[in-house]
């Protein structure tokens, strides 16, 4: 005898905002009636902070800061102990989404050192002979639209051997001129990062041009902090020796879950940057970095 | 077709494998790329063993302390694949086979939006495959696919676990390198991939299917064995097509009531679940690392309508292609994008055009070092290399020009001049054929009349030889595109103007004649009740110009039959009919000239046929004076050609038509008295009658009498002397008729002088007729005398006319006549209204004449004529 336990949220995209009601049904399906000791639902929102290995030594002292931060929690009993009849049973539920105390519901974010996650778990307790059943589903929280108008902040850039830093032998560098612009470095998270890039000339043919989206996560508190930058995704926008003088679009969609509006709290920070990476055929690698500010409007 | 295998309602738990699945998904690492999770994961060798059968292809690490991994838990929810699974769980039972088929049918209907006049890609496939072949060894090198994928966590379900296994399988399978494949092996391998794709899809391994697609797209960035590239493109896009079809049908069926979906559904018609699935596909594809494997599925997404908002997507993809450095790879990517564009939004011309312009802008890439080096390496000559572009460019151009009549015609209009100037009719004909092909669908020509007219003008500027012009077989079909009457006539007009201006020699070229008859007929047929007289006149002028240029040389019969045909064709334009009658008359006279006046039996019959032509054509004219004059003229021609009875008939017809002459006629839009015209005509007629022999069965001078009778019965204007004037003018004729030898004669026609040979009876008849006429005139003079005012003045004038007539033609030795003359002189001078100078001159003339032999009697009369008779 198998029992299916499932949670179906009303919204297909599972996106909710603070103050809204998280609604859905618990679906129990079974051929025969199911005896149980009660069915309960638990909603929880957590911020998990991890320390990178290089930081562990420094931070052992204040492990407090890496304790998960609970943003919201709620538990209800859906059905009292009893029997669920055979077939498919749908039990509707609703949770109001209100943060604990003076906390704010941060936007769902899946990073490396910082994770902000909201889950809904359904537990069916059963007699000793049968295993308890449990089903977890994640729902997404989008933070409230930020107030105030977003100022478009276009950035022009021009990359030549002379503009580079961190190079060992400037002499051995081939000549090149790459110009372009980003339409904005203050980006709306639902809108793509856009711009243009022109290879005006290059002594050595281009091998590849890529956009590298980087997350910069900072964990810490008053005593100190750990800051780590890791790649989220890398999008190639040019492959091979592209036509000189012809603008190539810079276009990158911010991946869902892996990005969120730039966030700064007392315990952690989540920031984003984009690197325009130019690889020459002689494997010279040229990177231009742009800090981004993401927001939701 | 089992698209959606039944999914269990309750999950079977296999905890061991679930644990195994809790490993993080293999995320491919770039060398030197710090693995984000590495630092905090503990390699759990047990769990890897648990995965047993699959060695270590995946990095089998599991997180030690992390609570539910957010990434993988997402998989359960919004991942497109689970979405599919979830959807099939709820919908599979309700989805019948017919729905899937139905959606396929809908899709086909959608494709037909492009219209049957668009040569589809499928028609090009075979040709490309047959044309671009190679004997070189091919290889399929697959690499890992880099994209952003959530990692699994400990709560991941069996379903997800299975999928992860598939991924690993796929990666295992795809990481191999297939070398030294013959072309056939290659084709087989691709076909195999196609089958794998279908199998993967039907067994709910959607990610595997997508991975196959991405792998295939990746192959398109490989240009080794470059001469095979076009065929490779065909083979691989076939796979993409298969995938596109599957995805489309899937999404279609996800919309719960797909039967009620409109044929071309929009974002609003799609339900949330389907939308969310689409979005997931979109995000998945958008995060593919490499350009080309991202670009093709992205384009494919358009065909599946995954990406709502085609308007923005197509231009973006167009711009993205600029990032492809290899010009050959880029041009085929453009071709594919155009194909997608034509399929989903043939009306969005902008991105098609942009593709074309980008293609032009990056064309110099062909000569870049990278390409040249590659060609040297592969030992491919530039001309061979360039042919590789032709299928793609051909396709792009076909898409760009499809139903883009406006742009097309603007170019064609310019192009045709170049062709006219530098090439022969053959090439111009090709251009015309092409214009017809482009402008016919949807009656596009209706919006391009000015350009089409300009095309015609340009051709006419360069081609003055109409035999060449009309031997272009598309020229007349081209004219058929001018379907608006006014434009059509304008075009015909311009053709005729050029013809009349430039045609030097009369022609009998059947091609020219047929074509111009067609052109003229078009002009003629445009005439209706509302056509202005001016318009008719100018059209007639042009048609007449054509008729005058038609000559069959000595082949008179052909010429006549042409006139017969022309008469039937141009029956509504009177000036043309008049021209035709003149032409036929001229033809008869030409025949006479050729025969030097001696008609053979055959030519005699022919000229009679000409006469018959005129005789039956004239009555259809409405202008009475045209009829009269043509009767007279044709009668003269008939007479000249010894067709006596025909001539008789013409003259009789003219005589019997006289009573119908209205008192006033319209001349150039103004109503005018017809009297002057009638008098002119009658004078003309009378002078002809001199040579017309009397009909043997009719009485003497029956035509003259007939004419005079008509004159007598005609209702002349009140107070008009016209009738009397006619009588006076008939006197010289009668005088001429009584001569022994007539003033003029028609060769081979015996006039009355010969017929009667000065028979006194004949002369007596003539004299009697003269007396009657003079009597009539005198009666009239008497009547005028009763009227003191204007009557007296008229009386004087008329009396003087009659005096002049008697002086010139009468035998004044006759005392009676000479007395009459003197009386008339006196009468004309009686009221002093006569012109003294005229009188003086007349007197001088008389005196002069009296010096001539046998004219002495005039001097006697002169003495009796006094100048001063003013009372």
Query: What is the per-residue pLDDT for B442?
Result: 80
Decide if A152 contacts A184 (C-beta within 8 A).
yes
- Per-residue DSSP letter, A65: G
Q: Which residue in the block uniquely carries the two structure tokens 């050192």?
A: A113
For B151, name the nearest residue in chain A, comparing CA atoms only. Answer: A110
Between B481 and A168, the more confident residue is B481
Q: What is the average per-residue pLDDT within B625-641?
A: 95
* Segment B362-375, tens digit of pLDDT: 888 888 888 898 89
Closest by alpha carbon to B294, among B198, B215, B408, B377?
B215
Separation in Å, CA of A204 to nearest CA in chain B: 10
Of A115, A248, A256, the CB nearest to B323: A248
Residues with Cβ within 8 Å of residue B852, at least 6 apart in sequence: none
Across chain B, mean pLDDT equals: 80
Which residues of chain B lie closer than 8 angstroms to A232, CB-CB?
148
The answer, yes or no, to whether residue A259 has pLDDT greater than 60, is yes
- B140, B146, B149, B153: CA torsion to nearest 10: 80
The answer, yes or no, to whether residue B788 has pLDDT greater than 50, is yes
Separation in Å, CA of B107 to nearest CA in chain A: 26
pTM of the model: 0.58
Please say whether the dihedral angle defined by the alpha carbons of residues B202, B207, B210 and B216, taken in this order, is positive or negative.
negative
Q: What is the average per-residue pLDDT within A284-290?
A: 91
**CB atoms near residue A119 (< 10 Å):** 18
> Hey, what are B412's tokens?
């064609």
Whole-number Å distance between alpha carbons of A171 and B61: 44
Q: What is the average per-residue pLDDT within B144-160?
A: 44
Whole-number Å distance between alpha carbons of A116 and A103: 13
Of A4, A14, A251, the CB nearest to B316: A251
Query: What is the per-residue pLDDT for B787?
Result: 78
Decide if B598 contacts B747 (C-beta within 8 A).
no
> Hey, what are B396's tokens?
């792009």
> Would you give the end-to-end CA distance of chain B in angstroms?
130
Which residues of chain B lie closer than 8 angstroms to A236, CB-CB?
289-291, 294, 323
**CB atoms near residue B213 (< 10 Å):** 24
Lowest mean pLDDT among A28-42, B104-118, B222-236: B104-118
Lowest mean pLDDT among B50-54, B184-188, B574-578, B695-699: B50-54
The answer, yes or no, to whether residue B857 has pLDDT greater than 50, is yes
Mutant choice from A31, A240, A285 vs B, greatest count of B C-beta within 10 A: A240
The answer, yes or no, to whether residue B119 has pLDDT greater than 70, is yes
Which residues of chain A lie closer than 8 angstroms to B273, CB-CB?
12
| Helix or strand (DSSP H, E) at A139 | strand A133-142
**CB atoms near residue B390 (< 10 Å):** 14
> Hey, what are A31's tokens?
């051929």
Closest by alpha carbon to B471, among B497, B417, B413, B432?
B432
The confidence band for B139, taking pLDDT boundaries of 50, 70 and 90, is: confident
- B610, B614, B616, B622: CA torsion to nearest 10: 170
Closest by alpha carbon to B500, among B483, B487, B512?
B512
From residue B504, alpha-carbon distances to B457, B500, B511, B648 in Å are 20, 8, 17, 39
From residue B477, alpha-carbon distances to A100, B35, B144, B235 in Å are 82, 71, 59, 40
Which residues of chain B lie closer than 8 angstroms to A29, CB-CB?
9-10
Between A119 and B151, the more confident residue is A119
**CB atoms near residue A193 (< 10 Å):** 23
Query: What is the per-residue pLDDT for B346?
Result: 76
* Segment A192-242, tens digit of pLDDT: 999 999 999 999 999 999 999 999 998 875 556 778 899 999 999 999 999
Whole-number Å distance between alpha carbons of B673 and B667: 9
Whole-number Å distance between alpha carbons of B702 and B752: 12
Q: What is the average per-residue pLDDT within A287-295?
A: 92
Which residues of chain A lie closer than 8 angstroms to B316, CB-CB?
249, 251
| Helix or strand (DSSP H, E) at B186 | helix B183-202
Decide if B80 contacts B284 (C-beta within 8 A).
yes
For residues B174-197, one letter each, b for 16 or more C-beta atoms within 10 angstroms of the residue's C-beta and e for the rest, the string is: beeeeeebebeebbeebeebbebb
Closest by alpha carbon to B47, among B14, B73, B75, B21?
B21
Query: What is the per-residue pLDDT for A65?
Result: 52
């Amino acid at each position: 005898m198998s029992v299916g336990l499932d949670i179906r949220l009303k919204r297909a995209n599972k996106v909710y905002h603070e103050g809204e009601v998280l609604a859905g049904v618990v679906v129990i399906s079974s051929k025969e009636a199911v005896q149980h000791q009660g069915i309960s639902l638990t909603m929880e929102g957590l911020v998990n902070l991890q320390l990178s290995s290089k930081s562990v030594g420094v931070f052992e002292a204040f492990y407090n800061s890496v304790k998960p931060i609970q943003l919201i929690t709620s538990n209800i009993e859906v059905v009292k102990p009893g029997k669920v009849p055979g077939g498919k049973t749908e039990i509707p539920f609703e949770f109001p989404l209100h943060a604990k105390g003076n906390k704010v519901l941060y936007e769902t974010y899946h990073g490396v050192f910082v994770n902000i996650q909201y889950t809904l778990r359904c537990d069916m307790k059963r007699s000793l002979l049968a295993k308890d059943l449990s089903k977890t589903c994640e729902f997404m929280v989008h933070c409230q639209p930020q107030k105030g108008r977003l100022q478009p902040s276009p950035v022009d850039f021009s990359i030549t051997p002379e503009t580079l830093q961190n190079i060992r032998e400037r002499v051995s560098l081939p000549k090149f001129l790459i110009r372009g612009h980003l339409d904005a470095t203050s980006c709306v998270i639902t809108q793509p990062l856009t711009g243009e890039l022109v290879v005006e000339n290059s002594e050595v043919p281009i091998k590849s041009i890529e956009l590298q989206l980087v997350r910069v996560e900072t964990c810490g508190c008053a005593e100190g902090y750990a800051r780590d930058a890791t790649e989220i995704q890398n999008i190639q926008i040019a492959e091979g020796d592209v036509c000189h003088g012809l603008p190539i679009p810079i276009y990158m969609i911010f991946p869902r879950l892996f990005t969120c509006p730039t966030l700064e709290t007392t315990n952690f920070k989540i920031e984003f940057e984009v690197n325009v990476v130019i690889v020459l055929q002689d494997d010279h690698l040229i990177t231009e970095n742009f800090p981004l500010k993401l927001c939701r409007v | 077709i089992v698209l959606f295998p039944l999914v269990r309602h309750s999950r079977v738990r296999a905890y061991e494998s679930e644990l195994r699945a809790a490993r993080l998904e293999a995320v491919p690492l770039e060398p030197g790329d710090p693995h984000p999770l590495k630092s905090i994961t503990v390699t759990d060798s047990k769990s890897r063993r648990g995965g047993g059968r699959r060695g270590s292809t995946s990095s089998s690490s599991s997180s030690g302390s992390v609570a539910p991994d957010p990434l993988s838990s997402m998989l359960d929810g919004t991942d497109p694949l689970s979405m599919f699974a979830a959807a099939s769980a709820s919908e599979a039972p309700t989805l019948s086979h017919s729905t899937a088929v139905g959606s396929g049918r809908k899709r086909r209907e959608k494709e037909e939006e492009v219209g049957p006049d668009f040569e589809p890609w499928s028609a090009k496939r075979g040709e490309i495959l047959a044309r671009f072949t190679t004997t070189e060894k091919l290889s399929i090198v697959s690499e890992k696919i880099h994209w952003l994928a959530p990692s699994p966590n400990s709560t991941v379900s069996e379903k997800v676990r299975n999928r992860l296994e598939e991924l690993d399988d796929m990666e295992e399978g795809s990481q191999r390198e297939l070398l030294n494949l013959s072309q056939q092996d290659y084709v087989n391998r691709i076909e195999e991939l196609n089958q794998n794709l279908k199998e993967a899809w039907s067994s709910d391994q959607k990610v595997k299917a997508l991975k196959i697609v991405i792998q295939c797209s990746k192959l398109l960035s490989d240009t080794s064995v470059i001469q095979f590239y076009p065929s490779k493109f065909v083979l691989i896009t076939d796979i993409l097509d298969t995938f596109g079809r599957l995805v489309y049908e899937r999404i279609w069926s996800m919309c719960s009531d797909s039967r009620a979906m409109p044929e071309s559904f929009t974002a609003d018609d799609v339900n949330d679940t389907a939308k969310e699935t689409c979005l997931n596909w979109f995000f998945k594809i958008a995060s593919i690392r490499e350009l080309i494997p991202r670009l093709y599925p992205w384009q494919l997404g358009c065909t599946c309508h995954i990406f709502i908002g085609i308007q923005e997507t197509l231009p973006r993809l167009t711009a993205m292609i600029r990032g492809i450095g290899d010009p050959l790879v880029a041009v085929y990517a453009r071709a594919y994008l155009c194909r997608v564009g034509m399929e989903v939004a043939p009306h969005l011309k902008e991105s098609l055009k942009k593709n074309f312009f980008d293609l032009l802008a990056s064309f110099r890439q062909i000569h870049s070092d990278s390409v040249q080096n590659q060609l040297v390496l592969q030992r491919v000559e530039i001309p061979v290399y360039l042919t590789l572009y032709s299928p793609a460019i051909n396709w792009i151009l076909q898409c760009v020009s499809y139903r883009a009549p406006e742009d097309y015609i603007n170019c064609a209009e310019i192009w045709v001049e170049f062709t006219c100037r530098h090439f022969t009719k053959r090439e111009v004909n090709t251009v015309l054929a092409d214009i017809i092909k482009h402008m016919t669908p949807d009656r596009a020509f209706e919006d391009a009349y000015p350009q089409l007219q300009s095309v015609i003008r340009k051709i006419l500027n360069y081609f003055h030889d109409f035999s060449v012009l009309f031997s272009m077989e598309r020229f007349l079909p081209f004219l058929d595109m001018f379907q608006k009457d006014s434009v059509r006539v304008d075009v015909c007009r311009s053709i005729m103007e050029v013809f009349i201006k430039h045609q030097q020699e009369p022609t009998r070229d059947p091609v020219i004649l047929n074509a111009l008859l067609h052109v003229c007929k078009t002009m003629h047929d445009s005439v209706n009740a509302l056509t202005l007289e001016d318009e008719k006149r100018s059209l007639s002028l042009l048609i007449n110009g054509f008729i005058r240029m038609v000559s069959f040389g000595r082949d008179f019969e052909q010429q006549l039959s042409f006139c017969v045909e022309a008469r039937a064709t141009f029956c509504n334009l009177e000036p043309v009919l008049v021209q035709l009658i003149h032409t036929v008359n001229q033809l008869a006279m030409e025949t006479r000239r050729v025969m030097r006046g001696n008609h053979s039996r055959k030519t005699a019959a022919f000229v009679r046929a000409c006469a018959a032509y005129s005789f039956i054509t004239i009555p259809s004219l409405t202008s009475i004076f045209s009829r009269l004059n043509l009767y007279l003229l044709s009668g003269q021609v008939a007479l000249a050609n010894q067709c006596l009875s025909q001539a008789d008939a013409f003259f009789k017809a003219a005589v019997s038509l006289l009573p119908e002459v209205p008192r006033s006629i319209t001349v150039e839009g103004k109503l005018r008295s017809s009297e002057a015209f009638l008098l002119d005509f009658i004078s003309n007629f009378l002078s002809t009658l001199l040579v017309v022999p009397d009909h043997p069965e009719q009485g003497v001078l029956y035509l003259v009498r007939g004419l005079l009778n008509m004159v007598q019965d005609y209702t002349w204007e009140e107070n008009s002397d016209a009738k009397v004037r006619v009588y006076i003018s008939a006197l010289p004729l009668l005088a001429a008729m009584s001569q022994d030898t007539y003033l003029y004669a028609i060769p081979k026609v015996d006039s009355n002088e010969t017929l009667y040979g000065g028979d006194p009876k004949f002369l007596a008849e003539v004299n009697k007729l003269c007396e009657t006429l003079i009597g009539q005139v005198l009666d009239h003079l008497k009547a005028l005398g009763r009227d003191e005012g204007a009557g007296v003045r008229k009386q004087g004038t008329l009396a003087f006319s009659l005096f002049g007539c008697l002086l010139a033609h009468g035998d004044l030795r006759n005392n009676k006549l000479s007395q009459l003359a003197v009386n008339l002189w006196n009468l004309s001078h009686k009221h002093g209204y006569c012109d003294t100078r005229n009188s003086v001159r007349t007197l001088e003339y008389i005196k002069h004449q009296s010096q001539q032999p046998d004219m002495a009697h005039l001097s006697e009369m002169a003495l009796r004529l006094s100048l001063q008779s003013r009372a």
